[in-house]
Structure 1
Amino acid sequence: MSQAPRIVVRDGASELDRAAILRALITHNEKAGGPSGFQQVCLVVEDPDTGETTGGLWGRIIYDWLFVEFLAVPETARRSGLGTELLSRAEQIAKDRGCAGVWLDTYQFQAPDFYRKHGYQEFGRIADHPRGSQRLFFMKTF
């Protein structure tokens, strides 16, 4: 008879651990909800002199929604329209791929007004995360 599974706290876990956990989740999700249609979305901001990536947008399409995981504009290019261009291009990619909308989260000290200005609506928040601030969740449907 096999033993019951055990829980192990693993500090410094590897990408192999992450992949195994994710694989178990994906297997369950696809049985319950059908194929996710996972697609990566990546727009990079490159330094024109060095070709180095200095910012950009990183996201993924899952179940017909684009989730923007990161949007970072180099400090020297803030308030230049670059963030708007990144977001607009990602939204167009999502539309072209048949998505229903985009969702993301941001901290109160980051850019909630930026997303509101671009038509995103808040649908949730976590108070005191990090302490003394808030984490906000936004969405935009097409």
Structure 2
Amino acid sequence: MDIVYEPEPLPETRAAILEGLIAYNERQTEGRYPPPRSVALGLRDPQTGRSVGGLTARIAYSRMFVELIFVPEHLRGQGLGAELIGRAEAVAREAGCTGIWLDTFSFQAPGFYEKLGYTEFGTLADYPPGFTRHYLHKQLS
């Protein structure tokens, strides 16, 4: 086998990796879980209908992972971030998830998530240099 560097992954390379990994994981977990799926909560400008931010997440193995969340700076402080997280938690509960996890940088919003009931379970220091990456989880009831 040859190992080939792709500075931008080819769609067929990503598909081969993802499909192979999903099939392997399904065999290991004996098909007890539905296939992983992605969800999004978009923030749309009501006047233009354009997306300006929102949240993307992945549901797998009884947990939701919040991949990305962004609220434009001019809209911050209005409760939209908390509403996005609250709605994501509702989606996770509806999907039968027992918890939600995410990561954030020290220059972003670790305190915001802690106020919403998330608990830190790990950090990666000096990533990026001079900052810390925080990993947080919240158990859903």
Q: Which TM-score band applies after superposition, normalised by the shorter structure?
A: over 0.9
Q: Distance in 2 between matches of 1:11 and 1:88?
A: 37
Matched ranges for 1:1-142 at <5 A: 5-35=1-31, 36-37=33-34, 38-142=36-140
Structure 1: segments with no counterpart, 5+ residues:
none
Offset, 1:108: 0.7
Give the number of equivalent residue pairs. 138
Q: Distance in 1 between matches of 2:74 and 2:81?
A: 12
Give 3-state SS (helix, strand or coil) of 1:86's partner.
helix
- Residue deviations 1:47-70, cap 9 Å, x none? 111111000010011001000001
| Letter in structure 1 aligned against 2:43 | V
RMSD: 1.1
- Residue deviations 1:76-121, cap 9 Å, x none? 1101000000000110111111110100011110110000000000
Offset, 1:11: 2.0
- Rg bigger for which structure? 1
Give 3-state SS (helix, strand or coil) of 2:47's partner.
coil
Q: Under a length normalisation based on structure 2, what TM-score does the superposition of the two structures give?
A: 0.93
Structure 2: segments with no counterpart, 5+ residues:
none
